[in-house]
Chain A
Amino acid sequence: MLKNNRWINLAFQLAALLLAVIFTTLILLAAGAPPLEAYKNILMGAFGSLDNFANVLVAWVPLLLTTAGLLITFSAGLWNIGVEGQIMLGAIFTTWVMRLLQDTTMPPALILTLAILAGMVGGALWAMLAGALKTFGGVNEIFGGLGLNFVATALTLWLIFGPWKRPGVASMSGTVPFDDRLSLTVFTGLRLSPWALVIAVAAIVVVYLLLQGTYFGLRLKAVGRNARAAFLLGIPTWQYMMMSFALCGLFAGAAGAMQVVAVYHRLIPSISSGYGYLGLIVAMLVNYQALWAAPVALFYAALNIGSIQLPIVLKLDSSLSGVLQGMLVLFVVLVEGARQQLMKKS
């Protein structure tokens, strides 16, 4: 007999983790690679030195920011796949404001603050476009969002190769880097900015409180569970959906802004680096609850950074981390489904 017991749930989740690792190991064996060597390489790549761990945290910041935003849209029952484009628009708006203000006499702190705020607004506007397509055009947010992602990519490329191109020759390496005084302060010798960390942690705390402790969060979840019932109860459904798109866009935009002001110091073609899609995966893995988002996002960031060395050391493609990340969610979903079916039968 299976009771809805905390320990049994934990056992099922561990089983999912184990299955994901076994499956990935089989894939490594199929590729003729030494699995232990590969895992050790990922581990060392992520935690082997202070430098590496700092890089994990650098990746953790945008991932946590997007995950935080996505928890809001998921609460409203929305699949905001367009989050990838919202990160890009955040980066574009931030770059735009930086370019406008970089030659003024404004203090750098003010320029940076304005640029980050602009990025958040950019992300929110792009998210609201997907929201408007859904609300007024009946276009499912998945398809609208995906289309807008490709449009955002095109926009980024057009800016880099067109109006914002480097003097001389435009290239995939991006726009002209900003002056050193216009980047967020970093820990000495590392690429990690304490400000970026603070913003990311604050974001997940805010989202946790918003969803757990406010009337707004409660009503948003009601919309997500059953939009029709929520509407009949007097909740302005479409306004709440638009609001959740906008809020998610704010966080995604902040992630894009961080990529510009704290990591790359310019706009590059792959500025969003897939953190949007990864954020969706993380949100699914934590079962759309804010509580576990921070540690799971850290683990996923570690996998991303840890696998960078794989092609050089073991001649393996670094997409291995993506396989493991996806397998984990896939097995968690499958095992959870199996548990529910078993419980129903017993």
Chain B
Amino acid sequence: MDTQTLIIGLAGVLFAAAPIVFAVLGETLSERAGVINLSMNGSIILSAMGGFAVAYKTDNIFLGFLTGMAIGAAVALIVAFASITLKQSQVAVGFVLTLVSRDLSYFLGNPFMGQPGPRLSSLSIPGLADIPFIGPLLFKHDLMTYFSFLFIFLAWAWIFRTRPGLMLQGIGERPAAAFVRGANVNRLRYFYTVLGGALIGLAGPTYSLSVKAGWNGTISGLDGIGWIALSITIFGGWNPLRAAFGAYLFALLQWLGLVLQPSLPGIPSQVLQVAPFPLMILTLLFVNIGNAEWVERTLAAMPEPTRRVTAKVLRALRASPPAALGVPFERD
């Protein structure tokens, strides 16, 4: 493979990862606040369909993106209402919403199946795009890909470098303490869940109007992406930078699967398409296994040099969820 092909391939990876980055950042914000939005797999599909349908009808691509965000925010609002106000199980409501949103998009999207629709055009940044290697890699994309780069750093800076971000960490880790400090825990949780939902909803039209332009119902190839994004959120340890790294890693693996397919004729394409999922289990295993009790015991029994190296590797991979994730907050 020559450099030219490699650069184009890697630029394609950044492009294909953009919607996953949005979804992962949205879920990270929501979970940082203490709310698991399990509806992601369905709301991405529904916002993809809704965004495409609106862009197709109005011929306005930006209305399509706005619709997607509104749909994602609306689904997240249901999750927030059911879990924060009604104190029902987040997992149960999120799971039902996943299925409902998916079926709803197949049902309502039926008339738009296979229609040729608008597509986001690419936007080279003058000057920067001409830099050798870096230009074609980073600066010859469409608007959404640039946004995905930008949002990673915005989300990171917001969570770790601002006062409200500190409060966000607080309501996810120690809601009672944050409350004493004057945070309106439940209102903030609503805010971040809906904001995160809007970001998740942005992922949908980024597929249907850009990365996988068009709406093709059950064969749109969007079913399953939300579940991947959920596990990337965990892999990312609720840190936007690490989560984005996970999203790019996933897109890279998918691309490698495509590139390598001709040299692996024995494996049917359907199998390669699901190859990321076992990898996802493995990464989750590595991320979580450091938390298991028996691992600590095994570590303690190891000879000193091995123990130190193993412990270091495990600690680097390890991630712990926000302490109050999924736990409703009641002041009493």
Complex interface: chain A residues within 8 A of B111 (CB): 31
Assess the B99–A277 pair: CB atoms within 8 A. yes
Quick one: which of A277, A280, A317 contacts B107, CB cutoff 8 A? A317
Assess the A334–B88 pair: CB atoms within 8 A. yes
Assess the A138–B289 pair: CB atoms within 8 A. yes
Identify which of residues 237-253 in chain A touch chain B, using a CB-to-CB cut-off of 8 Å.
Answer: none
Q: Is chain A's binding surface mostly helix, strand, loop or mixed? A: helix
Assess the A323–B100 pair: CB atoms within 8 A. yes
Identify which of residues 152-187 in chain A touch chain B, using a CB-to-CB cut-off of 8 Å.
Answer: 153-154, 157-158, 161-162
Complex interface: chain B residues within 8 A of A321 (CB): 103
**Nearest CB in chain A: distance from B314 CB, A:** 11
A76 beta carbon closer than 8 Å to chain B: no
Assess the A317–B106 pair: CB atoms within 8 A. yes
Q: Which of A48-56, A292-300, A336-344 contacts B (4 or more CB under 8 A)?
A: A336-344
Known interface pairs A79-B91, A151-B277, A337-B87; A329-B103 also in contact (CB < 8 Å): no
Quick one: which of B85, B268, B288 contacts A161, CB cutoff 8 A? B268
**Nearest CB in chain A: distance from B37 CB, A:** 13
B110 beta carbon closer than 8 Å to chain A: yes
Docked complex Cα distance between A144 and B291 (Å): 16
Known interface pairs A147-B280, A337-B82, A337-B86; A158-B271 also in contact (CB < 8 Å): yes
Identify which of residues 57-86 in chain B touch chain A, using a CB-to-CB cut-off of 8 Å.
Answer: 78, 81-82, 85-86
Assess the A137–B277 pair: CB atoms within 8 A. no
Q: Which residue of B lies closest to A331 (CB)?
A: B96
B108 beta carbon closer than 8 Å to chain A: yes
Assess the B103–A323 pair: CB atoms within 8 A. yes
**Nearest CB in chain B: distance from A241 CB, A:** 14
Assess the B100–A330 pair: CB atoms within 8 A. yes
Docked complex Cα distance between A322 and B107 (Å): 9
Known interface pairs A317-B110, A337-B86; A322-B99 also in contact (CB < 8 Å): yes
Assess the B91–A138 pair: CB atoms within 8 A. no
Docked complex Cα distance between A156 and B227 (Å): 20
Q: Is chain B's binding surface mostly helix, strand, loop or mixed? A: helix
A263 beta carbon closer than 8 Å to chain B: no
Question: Most A CB atoms within 10 A — which of B85, B234, B285?
Answer: B285
Complex interface: chain A residues within 8 A of B288 (CB): 137-140
Assess the A157–B271 pair: CB atoms within 8 A. yes
A10 beta carbon closer than 8 Å to chain B: no
Known interface pairs A147-B277, A340-B87; A157-B284 also in contact (CB < 8 Å): no
Q: Which residue of A lies closest to B86 (CB)?
A: A337
Assess the B281–A27 pair: CB atoms within 8 A. no
Assess the A146–B85 pair: CB atoms within 8 A. no
Complex interface: chain A residues within 8 A of B78 (CB): 330
Assess the A337–B268 pair: CB atoms within 8 A. no
Complex interface: chain A residues within 8 A of B275 (CB): 154
Docked complex Cα distance between A121 and B104 (Å): 36
Complex interface: chain B residues within 8 A of A326 (CB): 96-97, 99-100, 103
Assess the A330–B96 pair: CB atoms within 8 A. yes
**Nearest CB in chain A: distance from B108 CB, A:** 6
Docked complex Cα distance between A327 and B107 (Å): 14
**Nearest CB in chain B: distance from A23 CB, A:** 10
**Nearest CB in chain B: distance from A321 CB, A:** 8
Known interface pairs A139-B285, A161-B268; A316-B110 also in contact (CB < 8 Å): yes
Complex interface: chain A residues within 8 A of B91 (CB): 79, 142
Assess the A137–B107 pair: CB atoms within 8 A. no
Q: Which residue of B lies closest to A156 (CB)?
A: B270
Quick one: which of A144, A317, A341 contacts B284, CB cutoff 8 A? A144
A-B contact pairs, 26 of them (CB 8 A): A133-B285, A139-B288, A140-B288, A142-B91, A143-B280, A148-B281, A150-B278, A151-B274, A154-B270, A154-B277, A157-B271, A158-B267, A161-B270, A162-B268, A317-B107, A319-B107, A320-B107, A325-B99, A326-B99, A327-B100, A330-B100, A334-B86, A337-B82, A337-B85, A337-B88, A338-B86
A interface list, Cβ under 8 A from B: 27, 30-31, 79, 81, 133, 136-140, 142-144, 146-148, 150-151, 153-154, 157-158, 161-162, 277, 280-281, 284, 315-317, 319-323, 325-327, 329-330, 333-334, 336-338, 340-341
B interface list, Cβ under 8 A from A: 38, 78, 81-82, 85-89, 91-93, 95-97, 99-100, 102-104, 106-108, 110-111, 217, 224, 227, 230-231, 234, 266-268, 270-271, 274-275, 277-278, 280-281, 284-285, 288-289, 291-292, 294
Top 8 nearest A-B pairs by Cβ distance? Answer: A337-B86, A322-B103, A326-B100, A138-B288, A150-B277, A147-B281, A319-B106, A319-B103
Known contacts A136-B294, A140-B284, A315-B110, then 17 further A-B pairs from the complex at CB < 8 Å, ordered by chain A residue: A27-B107, A31-B108, A138-B292, A143-B227, A143-B231, A143-B284, A147-B281, A150-B274, A151-B274, A284-B92, A319-B103, A319-B104, A319-B107, A333-B92, A333-B93, A334-B86, A338-B86
